[in-house]
Amino acid sequence: MRRLFTTYLTVTAAAATLAVAQQQPPAQQPEEPVIKVDVDLVNILFNVKTKKGELIPNLEKNNFTLREDSKEQTISRFSRETDLPITLGLLIDISASQERLIEIEREAASQFFSSVIRPKDQAFMISFGKETELLVDFTNSPRQLIAGLKDLKGDGQSPRIGRSPVPVNTGPVPDYGTPKGTLLYDAIYLASTEKLKNEVGRKALILITDGGDQGSTYTIKNAIEQAQKSDAIVFSIYYVDHSFYGGMGLSFGGGGDEGGLKKISDETGGHVFTVNNKHPLTEVFKEIQEELRNQYSIGYTPTNATRDGSFRRIEIKTDNSDYHVQARAGYYATKNDGQ
């Protein structure tokens, strides 16, 4: 699972090292200007919606109040973000329960990439089932992303529910192994740490899955924590092949884990979109595009300046009680960033 990412990064680094070794020492170039960043500034991107879920795009700084760990903060920066470049990762479930949905996903995602990716944006694509695979690395080319979608195919593994006991005679202490089937949490963790962590600006992950996880090395808590540390908003698309689960019976979960997806998205400032006959996948992608292009940005310097790595809870409210703020739950006060 991790090998698929690590191998790519290692090969890339080795090629770069070889290229440098083969070159003559370059002539000394003028020093680039130093860009100073206020690492103490915390930036939060968020949406505001009505109770019916309609986006509110025209609020001002004085419409908001901000608290960190229940203490009011001074908003020093405020803007409405419609054209700010975005770094986007699409994570697609190809496990057995999703195989019959892949063609629909391929078509809808192709339309989404064609309409949302602009020259200054970057996107990548990962498939996950019994393994995680980087299908397309960072690119601003919708054509490359759409070409990568053609490589999508189910991993052909039959579902295995529960934990399979290892025979007792394999060692003095009985052990239990979890079969690999849908590495959802691993995919989020790796996308956050290996693809998004060192990127700047707006960052988002889009998941297409029924929410079931089976066999991940990392937990849902690990996945959420890394997404928060990389400052990534997670939009979850809950897409279930009910005929698959119906054929297997209720003992197989009955349709994934929508609750787990809601937890991941709520904690990172995203949203869960449910696909059904009245709400097709193409419409879901249009709604995600609207959310990405109608965000607010708030920046502030925390009154608690201690960088102890602890998690700080954030609460943003508007002066209209009928509005709902969709923002991440907080940030980790690490020493090397201001996220």
CA pair distance 42, 6, nearest whole angstrom = 30
| 120 and 217 part of one domain | yes
Helix axes 102-116, 142-149, angle to 10 degrees: 180
Which of 6-10, 51-55, 165-169, 182-186 shows the lowest mean pLDDT across its residues? 165-169
Confidence at residue 334, expressed as pLDDT on a 0 to 100 scale: 86
The answer on 56 and 148 residing in a single domain is no
DSSP string, 238-261: E---HHHHHHH-GGGTSS--HHHH
Please check whether residues 219 and 260 belong to one and the same domain.
yes
Would you place residue 253 in the very low, low, confident or very high pLDDT band (cuts 50, 70, 90)?
A: very low
Number of separate domains in the chain: 2
Mean pLDDT for the stretch of residues 45-51:
96
Does one domain contain both 230 and 314? no
Is residue 76 domain-shared with residue 203, that is, in the same domain? no
Share of the chain above pLDDT 70, in %: 77
16 contact partners, CB below 8 Å, separation of at least 6: none
Q: Which among 131, 250, 239 is positioned nearest to 179, based on CA atoms?
A: 131
Shared domain for 182 and 216, answered yes or no, is: yes
Distance CA(311)–CA(304), nearest Å, equals: 12
181 confidence band (pLDDT: 50, 70, 90): confident
Beta-strand ranges (E) seen in the chain are 42-49, 64-68, 71-72, 75-81, 86-93, 122-128, 132-139, 164-165, 176-177, 202-209, 233-238, 272-274, 295-300, 311-318, 324-326, 330-332
The answer as to whether 14 is a domain residue is: no
For residue 310, is it within any domain? Answer: yes
Q: What confidence score (pLDDT) does residue 243 get?
A: 78
pLDDT surpasses 80 at 158: no
Quick: pLDDT tens for 198-238: 998 899 999 999 999 999 999 999 999 999 999 999 999 99
**Higher per-residue pLDDT: 72 or 169:** 72
Asked if pLDDT for residue 106 goes beyond 90, the answer is: yes
Same domain, 48 and 119: no
Find the Cα–Cα–Cα–Cα dihedral 244, 249, 250, 254, rounded to 10°: 0
Task: Categorize the per-residue pLDDT at 329 as very low, low, confident or very high, splitting at 50, 70 and 90.
Answer: very high
Q: Is the pLDDT of residue 172 over 50?
A: no
Q: Does residue 87 contact residue 319 with C-beta atoms inside 8 Å?
A: no
CATH number for the domain that contains residue 201: 3.40.50.410
pLDDT digit string, tens, across residues 302-311: 999 999 999 9
Highest mean pLDDT among 118-122, 149-153, 163-167: 118-122
Residues in contact with 109: Cβ distance below 8 Å, sequence separation at least 6, in sequence order = 90, 92, 145, 149, 208, 285
Residues 256 and 318 in one domain: no
Residue 186 lies in a domain: yes
Of the candidate ranges 25-29, 232-236, 239-243, the one whose mean pLDDT is the lowest: 25-29
Are 279 and 301 part of one and the same domain? no
The pLDDT-based confidence of 34 (bands split at 50, 70, 90) is: very low
Question: Does 121 lie in the same domain as 102?
Answer: yes
- Please state whether the predicted TM-score (pTM) of the whole model is above 0.85: no
Does some domain include residue 164?
A: no
Report yes or no on 270 lying in a domain. Answer: yes
The amino acid occupying position 327 is: A
DSSP letters, 31-68, are: PPPPPP--TT-EEEEEEEE-TT--B-----GGGEEEEE
Least confidently predicted of 1-15, 102-116, 239-253, 273-287: 1-15
Domain-embedded: residue 237 = yes
Same domain, 72 and 118: no
pLDDT at 337: 47
Q: Looking at the domain assignment, is residue 3 inside a domain?
A: no
Same domain, 140 and 244: yes
Q: Which domain holds residue 72?
A: 42-82+296-332
For 269, the token pair is 């400032």
The answer to the question of residue 184 being in a domain is: yes
Q: What angle do CA 182, 179, 193 make, to 5 degrees?
A: 50
| 95-111 mean pLDDT | 93
As beta bridge partners, residue 133 has: 127
Specify the pLDDT at position 10. 38
